[in-house]
Amino acid sequence: MKDRFRSPGLLAALLLASALALTAARPQDAQAQSYSVTQLPGYTHGVYWESLNVYGQVVGTAEGGAVLWQSGFLTRLGSPGGQGWSWGYDISDWGQVVGYAAMVLGQEHAYLWQNGGAIDLGTLGGSFSYAFGINNLDSLIAGYSETGEGVIHAFLWQYGVMTDLGTLGGNFSYAYAVNDVGQVVGQAETASGELHVVVWQNGIVIADLGPGLALHINNAGQVIVRTQDGRGVLWQNGVSTDLGYTTPLAINNLGQIVGLSGSRGFIWQNGVMTDLGPVVPIDINDVGQILTNYLLLTPSVCDATLRLERGRVRRGRTLPFTVTLTHHSHETVSANLTLQVVDRNGTIVLERDLATATFHHGDGITRKDSLAIPAGLAPGTYMVRLVVTGMKATGADQQAFVVTR
Q: Contact 195/189 with Cβ under 8 angstroms? A: yes
Whether 312 shows a pLDDT value over 50: the answer reads: yes
Q: Contact 333/34 with Cβ under 8 angstroms? A: yes
Give residue-wise pLDDT tens across range 99-123: 999 988 778 999 999 999 999 999 9
CATH code matching the domain that covers 301-404, chosen among 1.25.40.10, 3.30.413.10, 3.30.930.10, 2.60.40.3880: 2.60.40.3880
In 14-140, the DSSP E strands lie at 35-39, 47-52, 58-62, 65-70, 73-76, 86-91, 97-102, 108-114, 117-120, 125-134
Taking the C-alpha atoms of residue 102 and residue 10, their distance in angstroms, rounded to an integer, is: 20
Whole-number mean pLDDT of the chain?
A: 86
Give residue-wise pLDDT tens across range 175-209: 999 999 999 999 999 999 999 999 999 999 999 99
Taking the C-alpha atoms of residue 214 and residue 198, their distance in angstroms, rounded to an integer, is: 8
Taking the C-alpha atoms of residue 174 and residue 147, their distance in angstroms, rounded to an integer, is: 12
Q: HEC profile for 379-393? A: CEEEEEEEEEECCEE
Taking the C-alpha atoms of residue 316 and residue 314, their distance in angstroms, rounded to an integer, is: 6
**Domain boundary assignment for the chain:** 10-298, 301-404
Give residue-wise pLDDT tens across range 232-289: 999 999 999 999 999 999 999 999 999 999 999 999 998 999 999 999 999 999 989 9
Judge: domain 10-298, CATH 2.130.10.10: yes
